[in-house]
Structure 1
Amino acid sequence: MNKFENKWIRAVLPALLIHCSIGTVYCWSLFKGDIASYIGKPVSEVEWAFSIAIFVLGMSAAFGGKFVEKDIHKSSLIAAIFFVAGMAGTGFFIYQKSLIGIYFSYGIVMGIGLGIGYLTPVKTLMLWFKEQKGLATGLAVAGFGLAKVIASPLMEKLLGERNNEGILVNPANIYTMFYILAGLYLVMMLAGHLALKKPAGYEEETAQSKSFSYRKALTNKTFIGIWLMFYINITCGLALISQEKGILAFIGFGAIGLVSSLTAIFNAGGRIVFSSWGDRLKDRNSIYKIIFISSITAILLTVVFDGINQSIAILIIALLCFVNAGYGGGFSSLPPLLSDRFGLNSISTVHGLALSAWAWAGLTGNQLSAYVLEKTQSYDMVLYVIMALFAIATLISIFVVKPEKVNVESEDFNRKEEVAIG
């Protein structure tokens, strides 16, 4: 059995199984119109199920960090139960044509599974890959990004044929798809749950004996800076990614599905490339400077060539790929950066707290670009707003996120330790 006790079987494989399952939340755009059509509600109202799911993901990670820290086996099992129950429940409530039920199952129940599941493998990976933390988290989080590429063809197959107006020939396929996917992801996530294990010699009590201080973290300048630049990166990414289909249609580019797959690959690739690149840098925060500056450069090049209206398609596709790569890289580079600044003992807790930025960005990213478009009728103006936000994030990365390591253990713990030593 010793041949199975290695980082690939006990950390990477289970992380990929879990993240490739929960990452299918990004396939939402493939079927949201079918849900709206089946239950007889506007797409704008159905859209809130996705926003709620991302918000609950971030908040459940923020408040579930200490729980994940204590027991990865319980947390991975709970993630599987909530995610699968939410998936199956979504199918049931679509059948019942209940929008509130869809909000509850897809948004809240599945959202809890997303948050706990996203967080669970991270610390285990960094314990197995102590010298290559960025590569480790990149491999796992890449699964979250690749899920869309892997699951999209399966979902299209399960949804079946469409008529000339794009309506499903068999509308019942929309809810049966969720039942089938729930069964598939139950097997994958339980396999990940059973395989996930921390390396031999790691003492669980070491992590549990430390008392994490939320007050110290939330009032720390470095943590606030990391939270803000992470929030801005997600907001900018979602603002542009949510308009991807509309931009390509506006310039008359027909192969939208091909570009969607290409940008998803860049999203996943950026998660591995940027985070593993950070392993070679003196200060891992430099990766965020690279992400922000490269995104600004890509936008500037598009603007120089007369913006979305006149730029050649290849330049606009390159812009979408660059922003997707930086969007993914921002996620995978976060845990090792937090580990460098706050230590590995409380990484699940502090990482979960930082993921609350994802919750709020999920509510503001899509809405930002939609608001700018509504007011200006210009994709170019969306680019200008995104570029300005990236510039602010660059300044935060340079002047606020300092390289010093921060102590986030509570004063009570420190006092007990001093007494014990004395």
Structure 2
Amino acid sequence: MSKLDNKWIRAVLPALFIHCSIGTVYCWSLFKGDIAAYIEKPVAEVEWAFSLAIFVLGMSAAFGGKLVEKDIHKSSLLSALFFVVGMAGTGFFIYQKSLIGIYFSYGVVMGIGLGIGYLTPVKTLMLWFRNQKGLATGLAVAGFGLAKVIASPLIEKLLGERNVEGTLVNAANIYTMFYILAGIYLVMMFIGHLALKKPAGYEEENVQTGSFSYLKVLKNKSFIGIWLMFYLNITCGLALISQEKGILAYIGFGAIGMVSSLTATFNAGGRLVFSSWADRLKDRNSIYKVIFLLSITAILLTIVLDSIHNSIAILIIILLCAVNAGYGGGFSSLPPLLSDRFGLENISTVHGLALSAWALAGLTGNQLSAFVLEKTQSYEMVLYVIMGLFIVAALISIFVVKPDKVYLGNNESDREEEMIAG
């Protein structure tokens, strides 16, 4: 075995290259206003490109799991091509001032690259880290969260100077930025594609000898419970994260950029810490109970102490950091939890199905907080609604998600191996 054939070179490094590239989708807020200004459309209309990208991400993952299961080299190459072409195409359609073109390139084409790319490294990591699956997925998915921290300064640099009104001095920078980023991410994702490899001997196994049943998964009570609590965690996270800037401005806190970087760091850190922590627990579902309890406590303390001390900024920042950490931890803890319940053999397919929750949450999270704000004009009411949903998610985790293992195929050797590993 070559010195290069190890878990760090063949699994962790390519996963980080791929996820640090596609995770740039979370930098959308940095340039959506510049796109709207250049193509002369309302920001609200441009915003749908991001919502569409997240929706297509989830749905392409839901339907692309079989492809990833079958051939990670084909899926990693396809994800790179779709993501890069979508990003370059976004630059082209911005130049053409075509909103429909932006929807198609950023939302659909790039969204497909996001979904397939998100799934591709996960099973490979868990195969290399069989006894530390949470650590493995945490390392990969942390890259998705860190992408915003890494890419934000580069994007600001590429966009260039702004005038006193906040608009770009050189308006052409908005579309040339996409061309440059497409070139950078093509190199990164192609390196990830070349380096990604399953452990020696695994390719010789017929991973699909069992008869996989979509219906059996979708009807399973635990899967339904996992899907619902995952959906609620994302919805609550997006509902609060989308109002981060507005909440800080409302309480008069000026260092919004600093808080944005801080919360993004907690988002990435939560992806690594919570999933690694779950490796030490008897049942990985327990980590979701911790995440929901942490989020509920943070919101409750903020509401109670704020009513006494009148808008203490540090409380809001702690709340945002806690919810961001739990939001990220929910993503990284999902694949190992599904692996424990449904086996490693079909994890890419089952994980893809579960990510359809992300697709729907991407359409409802932002809109939920916007709707509550429109009706009540109160950020406190937004917190009450989010806390209520977190309580529902906690109850689902406690009473619906059972610890029982579900076997989806007929491969007895894999069943025995999973029983030994479990």
Q: Which amino acid aligns with 2:311?
A: S
State how far apart, in whole Å, the 1-side matches of 2:13 and 2:147 are: 14
2:306–2:312: 8 Å Cα contact kept in structure 1? no
1:227-285 Cα deviation digits (max 9, x unpaired): 00000000000000000000000000000000000000000000000000000000000
Count of aligned positions = 413
Cα deviation, 1:101-125, whole Å, max 9, x if unaligned, reads 0000000000000000000000000
Shift of 1:308: 11
Taking the aligned partners of 1:283 and 1:234, their CA distance within structure 2 comes to 21
Does residue 199 of the first structure (1) align with residue 199 of the second (2)?
yes
Alignment-derived partner of residue 373 in structure 2: 373
| Residue aligning to 2:44 | 44
**Structure 1 residues not aligned, in runs of 5+:** 418-422
Aligned to 2:2: 2
Tell me, in whole angstroms, the C-alpha distance in 2 between the residues paired with 1:250 and 1:384: 17
1:22-421 equivalence runs, <5 A: 22-306=22-306, 310-409=310-409
> Secondary structure, in 3 states, of the residue corresponding to 1:306?
helix
Q: Tell me the distance in 1 between the aligned counterparts of 2:167 and 2:297.
A: 40
State the shift of 1:409 in Å.
2.8
Report if the CA contact (8 A) 2:76-2:116 is conserved.
Answer: yes
CA RMSD of aligned residues (A): 1.4
Q: Which amino acid aligns with 1:87?
A: M
Deviation string, structure 1 residues 356-378 (Cα, Å, up to 9, x no partner): 00000000000000000000000
Q: Could you state the TM-score of these two structures normalised by the residue count of structure 2?
A: 0.96
Q: Percent identity?
A: 85
1:302-325 deviation digits (Å, cap 9, x = unpaired): 010235992310111000000000
d(CA) in 2 for partners of 1:309, 1:58: 41
Is the contact between residue 308 and residue 316 of structure 1 (CA under 8 Å) also seen in structure 2? no
In structure 2, C-alpha distance between the alignment counterparts of 1:31 and 1:137, rounded to whole Å: 29
1:97 match: secondary structure: coil
Query: CA-to-partner distance for each residue in 1:157-179, whole Å, 9 max, x for gaps?
Result: 00000000100000000000000
Q: Which amino acid aligns with 2:76?
A: S
Q: After TM superposition, which residue ranges in structure 1, 4 or more long, deviate above 4 angstroms? A: none
Corresponding residue number in structure 1 for 2:419: none
| Corresponding residue of 1:420 | none
Deviates more, 1:334-343 or 1:204-213: 204-213
Helix, strand or coil: the match of 2:52? helix
Where does the alignment leave 5 or more consecutive residues of structure 2 unmatched?
Answer: 416-422
Contact kept, 8 Å, 2:75 with 2:116, in 1: the verdict is yes
> In structure 2, do the counterparts of structure 1 residues 307 and 54 end up closer, same or farther at CA, with 3 Å as the change threshold?
farther
Residue 408 of structure 1: how far off its partner (Å)? 2.2
Query: TM-score, normalization: structure 1?
Result: 0.96
Is the partner of 2:387 in helix, strand or coil? helix
CA distance in 2, matches of 1:91, 1:305: 46
Partners of 2:78 and 2:307 in 1: CA distance: 47
Query: In the TM superposition, what whole-angstrom CA distance separates every residue of 1:60-96 from its partner, at most 9, and x where no partner exists?
Result: 0000000100000000000000000000000000000
Letter in 2 for 1:155: I
Q: Find the aligned partners of 1:232 and 1:408 in 2 and give their Cα distance.
A: 26
Answer whether contact 1:239 1:368 (CA < 8 A) is retained.
yes
What whole-Å deviation, never above 9, does each CA across 1:163-200 have from its counterpart, x for those lacking one? 00100000000000000000000000000000000000
CA distance in 2 between partners of 1:309 and 1:107 (Å): 43
**3-state secondary structure, aligned to 2:208:** helix
SS at match of 1:164: coil
Q: Distance in 2 between matches of 1:227 and 1:130?
A: 24
Distance in 2 between residues matched to 1:167 and 1:54, nearest whole Å: 27
Instruction: Summarize deviations over 1:180-231 as a string: whole Å, max 9, x none.
Output: 0000000000000000000002145431222221100111100000000000
Q: Is the 8 A contact 1:39 1:97 kept in 2?
A: yes
SS at match of 1:138: helix
The structure-2 alpha-carbon separation of the partners of 1:93 and 1:204, relative to structure 1 and needing over 3 Å to count, comes to farther
Secondary structure in structure 2 of the residue aligned to 1:305: helix
Structure-2 change in CA distance of 1:339 and 1:53 (3 Å): same
- Pair 306,174 (structure 1): closer, same or farther in 2 beyond 3 Å: same
Report the AA paired with residue 200 of structure 1. A
User: Whole-Å Cα distance in 2 between the matches of residues 21 and 249 of structure 1?
Assistant: 30
